[in-house]
């Protein structure tokens, strides 16, 4: 620690001596040069900042214009979709395909792809303890038979509404 202090004081002494040795004119010249460097540095920084801002503005302008274009294109697509979805157009297309107004509507019961509650609702709500055969693998006729059996056990449910009724 002591040797470090000695080294520093030695270098300060040397610099002081060197400056003292310079003439007054040279010293003035150095000051002017330092000032010049400082001003140049400031001007450089200013110009760098200005050009950076200008570049950012240019980028921003590009983004704004891109955003405008994208929005315009998006609106155009939305409108195009809306035009295609217009009801008179769909109606006309349906007529061209030979479709017409329904004369009567028949409501039928839809049998869902799941086992019918054979032994009442309470049983049906409980999950099975084990399921050796996946019900979805049962063939259609077997499911239909189960459903009919369930209907017979639980009482009949309207399975189809007759035409007009």
- What does each C-alpha distance from 55 to 50, 63, 144 come to in angstroms? 9, 12, 74
Contact positions toward another protein, by CB under 8 A?
Answer: 23, 25-26, 28-29, 32-33, 35-36, 39-40, 42-43, 46-47, 50, 54, 57-58, 60-61, 68, 71-72, 75-76, 78-79, 81-83, 85-87, 102, 105, 107, 157-158, 161, 164-165
82-101 exposure pattern, b = at least 16 Cβ within 10 A, e = fewer: eeeeeeeeeeeeeeeeeeee
- State the nearest-atom distance from the C-beta of 155 to another protein, in Å: 10
To another protein, the closest distance from the beta carbon of 32 in angstroms equals 5
- Residues 135 and 113: their CA atoms lie apart, in Å, by 8
Residue 15 C-beta: closest distance to another protein, Å = 21
Nearer to another protein (CB atom), residue 81 or residue 133? 81
Nearest to 160 by CA among 93, 85, 120, 108: 108
7 or 41, CB closer to another protein? 41
Q: Is the dihedral of CA 22, 26, 28, 29 positive or negative?
A: negative
Q: Which is nearer to another protein, 32 or 99 (CB)?
A: 32
Q: How many CA atoms lie within 13 A of 15 on its CB side?
A: 6
Smallest separation, CB 125 to another protein (Å):
19
Indicate the residue among 98 and 164 with the shorter CB distance to another protein. 164
Q: What is the C-alpha separation between 112 and 92, in angstroms, rounded?
A: 35
57 vs 145, beta carbon nearer another protein? 57
């Amino acid at each position: 620690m002591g040797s470090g202090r000695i080294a520093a004081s030695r270098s300060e002494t040397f610099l002081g001596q060197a400056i003292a040795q310079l003439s007054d004119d040279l010293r003035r010249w150095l000051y002017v040069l330092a000032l010049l460097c400082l001003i140049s540095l400031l001007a450089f920084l200013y110009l760098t900042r200005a050009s950076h801002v200008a570049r950012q503005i240019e980028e921003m302008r590009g983004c704004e214009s891109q955003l405008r274009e994208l929005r315009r294109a998006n609106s155009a697509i939305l409108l195009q979709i809306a035009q295609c979805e217009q009801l008179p157009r769909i109606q006309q297309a349906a007529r061209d395909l030979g479709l017409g107004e329904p004369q009567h509507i028949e409501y039928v019961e839809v049998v869902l792809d799941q086992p019918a509650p054979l032994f009442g609702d309470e049983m049906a709500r409980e999950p099975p303890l084990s399921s050796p055969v996946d019900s979805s693998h049962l063939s259609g006729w077997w499911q239909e038979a189960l459903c009919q059996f369930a209907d017979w056990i639980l009482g009949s449910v309207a399975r189809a509404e007759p035409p007009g009724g």
